[in-house]
Each structure stands twice: as C-alpha cells, then as structure tokens.
Amino acid sequence: MAKPISIEVWNPSGRYRVISTKPMPGTRWIKLLTDQDCRVEICTEKKTILSVEDILALIGTKCDGVIGQLTEDWGDVLFSALKRAGGTAFSNMAVGYNNVNMDAANKNGIAVGNTPGVLTETTAELAASLSLAAARRIVEADQFMRAGLYDGWLPHLFVGNLLKGQTVGVIGAGRIGSAYARMMIEGFKMNLIYYDLYQATRLEKFVTAYGQFLKANGEQPVTWKRAATMEDVLREADVVSISLHPILDKTTYHLINKERLAIMKKEAVLVNCSRGPVVHEVDLVEHLRANPMFRVGLDVFEDEPYMKPGLAEMKNAVVVPHIASASKWTREGMATLAALNVLGKIKGYPIWHNPNQVEPFLDENSVPPPAAPSIVNAKQLGLPTAKL
Ligand SMILES: NC(=O)c1ccc[n+]([C@@H]2O[C@H](COP(=O)([O-])OP(=O)(O)OC[C@H]3O[C@@H](n4cnc5c(N)ncnc54)[C@H](O)[C@@H]3O)[C@@H](O)[C@H]2O)c1
Ligand SMILES: O=C(O)[C@H](O)CO
C-alpha cells in the first residue's frame, strides 16, 4: 500500500506521536500513553504482516516511537527512518526479538524494548499442553472421534506415553524453560535433565526440595541433572522442550537437525515453543515419517506462516499457530510493557533494573513506576538503570 489508510487515532492533540503497527489487546496501554501526552496511532489494516514499506509510510516524517510485532523486519531501513522522523524508541510486543537487527538499532540510537516475564507461565503452559497432547495423542484421537471411526474400546487404541517417572529434557532453562520444567516435575513427577549455558540454580534447588518432599511422603523422589552437552539431553530425555534465547545465530539455528534427531529415543516427544528456525523442519518431517512413535508438538515454524511440505500430513505432529503467549492477561500485559518501554524512552525515564521482575508495571490498580521495563540495548546506548 502506498499509504496506510486504516488508522485509529487516540488523543489527537498529544505531543508525542506513538505508532502501534497492530491493534493490541486491552485498553490500559492506550490510556498509559495518552495520559502522558502521547498521540497514539494504531494501524488497523487487515493485512496480517506489514511490509517494511507499509511501516515506512506509518512512520512518516514525525514519529517519536513505534510498538511493533515479531512478524516485522526491523532493520536499518526502518530504524534510520524512525531516527529521521525524530524517534528514539521501538518495542516489540514479544520477549523474542530475532526480527530486530540490533546493530542497526544501536547505529541509529534507537532503544529496543521487549516484554519478558509476563508471558513466562502462559508460554510454559502451552509447552506443557503440547507435551501432553503429543504424548497422549490427543489431536489424533479427537480427529478419529469426529470422523465417526470409534466403534468401541480396544486395548491398543491410541496408546501413548506415560509421563510419570520419565525424564523431561529442557534445552534453554531460562524463564520459560524453568517454568515448564517445574510444571512437568511437579505435575507429573518427572526427572529433569537440562542444558543451558548457565546454571539454573533456582530450578535445581526446587527439584532437590521437591524430591525431598516426595521422599518424606514415601514416594519416589524426582532428580535433576545439568547436562554437559545438548546431545546428553537428547539422548536421555523422554520429553524434550526447547526454550532458547531469541537471537538466531549459529549457536541456535538448526540446532535440532537430522543428526541430533537420530540420537533421540524412538518414542520421544519433542516440543518447540521458541523459534521455528531452531529446528530443521525438513529433517524433522523426514524423522517423523520414519519414526511413527516419535511425536512432536510445535508452536513455531521455520517459515511462518507456512509449514514445510509434509508436516501437515504427519499424524504424529501436533501443530498450533504460534499461540504460546495467547492468554488474555498475558497479551494485555505484553501490550502494557511494550507501550511503557516506548513511553519510558520518550520521557527520558531510566531503565528498570530487573527485566525478570516486571510485576509493578502490570498492576492495573496502581501507577506504573517511571521507568522503561525492558530495553535490551540499554547498555549499548548508555541508558541509565534505576531501582525505584
Ligand atoms: N512461542 C511463543 O509464543 C513464545 C513465547 C515466548 C517466548 N518465546 C521464545 O522463547 C524464548 C525464551 O524466552 P525466555 O523468556 O525464557 O528467555 P530467557 O532469556 O529467560 O531464556 C533463554 C535461555 O536460553 C539459554 N540459551 C541461550 N542460548 C543457548 C544455547 N545456545 N544453548 C543453550 N541454552 C541457551 C539462555 O542462557 C537462557 O537461560 C524467547 O526468546 C522467544 O524466542 C516464544
Ligand atoms: O517471543 C515472544 O514473545 C513470542 O513469540 C510471542 O509471544
């Protein structure tokens, strides 16, 4: 489109022009901006993914900050246009920011925000749901019922995997990976093996304490192990969940490929709620085809919104459209954090000291702290941090 036509404007006389490239859930984020002298323009175009040209037209000649989406390509073209328009702030409405070229943002002096924490539990719950759905063949069984194929209980009908006492593997035991691990350990009494560049001390302490609790109650205690290599996790785990860092670089791109799939158990479950390109999807389809008892739960895909040929036909794959953070509370909270990131930078507020603790910004009954909740390039831009 030459110029976006559908724009919803809030507080037209506001001093700072803030654009949201999509309508976002809730209205708190709009009020927080308009209360602080922002004119908020929301692009309401029906098109799902805006192109760079679309966003350039939105930015125009005067724009202080933009709230964008993970589907958009934020590189030098957009950041330099934002800079020319007088802008200093951009925030993804997402914790992951692999759609953002950080070098370009730094070069143009644009602060880049993300939305950690608020989506941790929601995303972990979806990863747990996919683990169960895949292990217990829920989607396959549902389709079978709806097709009218059920003609009575059978000993072999949709036999799946028991989770209790099995080993859950987590690759990337950060916020989401640790929350997922706790759900699987507490809920299904699974043992843990994880791989991360850093030690997940709190998670280890939790598993130790829970194991002691189970033992004191006469139950089999759960255990944990920090793996020396990712291969150890793949080899030992019955259910593996990937919950890695946002940056897709040579350490995370196609991390799960033919060779690594081959070392997994034949009846393992693999869940990906991180980013699609972490898994070599063509190799995965081949592996699913050759190993019908191997199952996968996918929220993300290598070439979203598309799936690689063959994946849709695989009965041993459960696929959902990137909905891991899709609970009402979380999505409204993500919108709030993204808006406050942009607002904080525009107003010259300091950066919040701990992006793992963003609760004070999410309490609807109080005024949020005068800070930008999470700016990922604060250090590079020399922005001050504050504990308020
Ligand atoms: N599917 C979704 O809707 C959805 C929702 C939220 C987050 N995500 C994705 O999940 C990611 C994780 O989010 P988070 O809040 O848990 O982030 P986080 O930073 O708390 O955790 C990421 C963990 O990965 C580890 N890590 C990074 N590179 C690694 C490597 N090469 N090998 C092993 N471990 C590595 C980090 O040390 C860290 O502990 C996000 O960046 C995003 O891409 C997806
Ligand atoms: O990175 C993220 O936040 C997700 O992919 C969307 O919630």
pLDDT at 24: 98
| pLDDT tens by residue, the chain, 388 residues | 455 569 999 999 999 999 999 999 999 999 999 999 999 999 999 999 999 999 999 999 999 999 999 999 999 999 999 999 999 999 999 999 999 999 999 999 999 999 999 999 999 999 999 999 999 999 999 999 999 999 999 999 999 999 999 999 999 999 999 999 999 999 999 999 999 999 999 999 999 999 999 999 999 999 999 999 999 999 999 999 988 765 566 788 999 999 999 999 999 999 999 999 999 999 999 999 999 999 999 999 999 999 999 999 999 999 999 999 999 999 999 999 999 999 999 999 999 999 889 999 999 999 999 999 999 999 999 999 987 6
User: Phi and psi at residue 317, in whole multiples of 5°?
Assistant: -120, 130
CB contact burial 164-193 (16+ within 10 A = b; e otherwise):
eebbbbbbbbbbbbbbbbbbbbeebbbbbb
pLDDT at 247: 58
In this structure, the residues whose C-beta lies within 6 A of any atom of ligand 1 are 95-96, 116, 119-120, 123, 171-177, 195-198, 243-246, 251-252, 273-275, 299-300, 322, 324-325
Catalytic residue among 39, 175, 287, 322: 322
Tokens 């944990």 appear where?
224
**CA 98 to CA 30: how far, in whole Å?**
26
List Cβ neighbours of 239 (8 Å cut-off, separation of 6 or more): 131, 135, 161, 163, 166, 167, 168, 169, 184, 190, 268, 269, 270, 271
State pTM to two decimals: 0.97
Q: Which atom of ligand 1 is nearest to the CA of 255?
A: 31
**CA 366 to CA 208: how far, in whole Å?**
37
Of 316, 321, 6, the residue nearest 134 (C-alpha):
316
CB contact burial 340-353 (16+ within 10 A = b; e otherwise):
bbbbbbbbebbbbe
**CA 106 to CA 104: how far, in whole Å?**
5
Q: How far is CA 138 from CA 145, 153, 259, 290, 295, in A?
A: 11, 16, 28, 21, 12
What is the ipTM for the molecules in this complex?
A: 0.99
pLDDT at 4: 53
245 is catalytic: no
Q: Say how many CA atoms lie within 13 Å of 324 toward its Cβ.
A: 33
Among 71, 95, 193, name the best residue to mutate to test ligand 1's pocket (greatest count of ligand atoms within 8 A of Cβ): 95
Positive/negative CA dihedral, 324, 375, 200, 333: negative
C-alpha dihedral, 69 to 70 to 71 to 76, nearest 10°: 90
Q: How far is residue 17 CA from its own chain's centroid?
A: 28
pLDDT at 231: 97
- Containing 292, the helix (H) or strand (E) segment is none
pLDDT at 362: 97
- The runs of H, that is alpha helices, within 41-75 are 52-59
275 is catalytic: yes
Among 69, 70, 323, name the best residue to mutate to test ligand 2's pocket (greatest count of ligand atoms within 8 A of Cβ): 70
Q: Which atom of ligand 2 is nearest to the CA of 330?
A: 7
**CA 92 to CA 335: how far, in whole Å?**
9
8 is catalytic: no
From ligand 2's centre to the CA of 363, what distance in Å? 21
pLDDT at 2: 52
